Amino acid sequence: AREDPATAYTKAPVSNVVADLNARLADGSLRLRYEGRSGYLQSALDALSIPVESQLLLFSKTSLQAARIDAANPRALFYNDRAALGWVRDGDVIEVAAHDATLGTAFYTLEQKPPAATATEPPQFKRAFVCLGCHVTSDTLGVPGLLMFSTNESGPGSLMRAVAMDQRTPLTSRCGGWLVTGSAGAVAHQGNALPSLDATRRRDLATVDGLFEPDGYRAATSDVGALLVFAHQAGMMNLLTRLAWEARVAPPSSEADPRVAQMMAGVAAEVVGYML
């Protein structure tokens, strides 16, 4: 369905905040700053108007740069209502998922290399289709979308079990493989399951200070509120993308087809149910 003429995911013109940012980089009206081990991180966050307070931290190896991620070097995610940005300290790229006006979610990478003194071309975010290997599955409703996994391992060297989560997932089953700061009240979650953390500290962790070396990170938090909002947003965007794709792919001649009407009504009902 990605290459259906109605969607043309890899070939259709893009319309999103990253495309707008690329245009500003190309015409010189914006420049990105490369800063130490964080690279272009802060500059990219500023350019995309993504707040540092949205930072989420996870130590599960569920990313394009999984080999670099562990408890001593967690991945950081940041987001607003237009884009989500992933950063791994000392990683090769910054990853961005942008909500596109027609495509749904479009994926990009920005190479994390200090600019050469002789460079004449500004850095650019490049479309990343390799991300679709994980980001188009039944967990994203069959469209390019966002994913959140709750992960756990039964022991050292064991296989990791990853379960997709969104706002419908009980909190007691959420956040395995994530760091969670702040209080979730009386309800337990699966976050903060680090050997360095005593089980009594995992429920209401105030800060990640002392859990890993902080150089390059933007904040010492992975707030439970930000996690809850992102879980809602991930599922919501996937549902809206699926609804839009189904509406566009259905040929005009099928408008009177009761099977198409039933299918669209089902997707619409799921969207409304999720919102409410």
The model's pLDDT over 126-160, given as tens digits with 9 standing for 90+, comes to 999 999 999 999 999 999 999 999 998 655 555 67
- What integer pLDDT is reported at residue 270 of this predicted model? 93
Dump pLDDT digits (tens) for 238-249: 999 999 998 888
pLDDT at 155: 53
Structure tokens at 168: 């419908």
Distance CA 201, CA 117 (A): 48
pLDDT score of 102 more than 60: yes
Q: How high is the pLDDT of residue 117? A: 61
Per the document, the length of the chain is 276
Distance CA 178, CA 75 (A): 9
pLDDT of residue 261: 82
pLDDT for residue 158: 58
For range 113-135, the mean pLDDT: 86
pLDDT in the model for residue 157 = 59
Q: What is the mean pLDDT of the chain?
A: 91
In the prediction, which pLDDT does 252 show?
66
User: What confidence score (pLDDT) does residue 121 get?
Assistant: 84
Where b means 16+ CB within 10 Å and e means fewer, 10-20 reads: eeeebebbbbb
Q: Which residues 6+ apart lie within 8 Å of 103 measured at CB?
A: 7, 9, 12, 14, 16, 144
Q: What is the pTM of this model?
A: 0.92
Max avg pLDDT among 11-15, 45-49, 199-203, 271-275: 45-49
Alpha-carbon gap, residue 175 to 180, rounded angstroms:
8
pLDDT tens digits, one per residue of 55-83: 999 999 988 899 999 999 999 999 999 99
pLDDT for res 254: 59
Residue 249 neighbours by CB under 8 Å, 6+ apart: 1, 4, 6, 7
Note the pLDDT tens digit of each residue in 216-239.
999 999 999 999 999 999 999 999
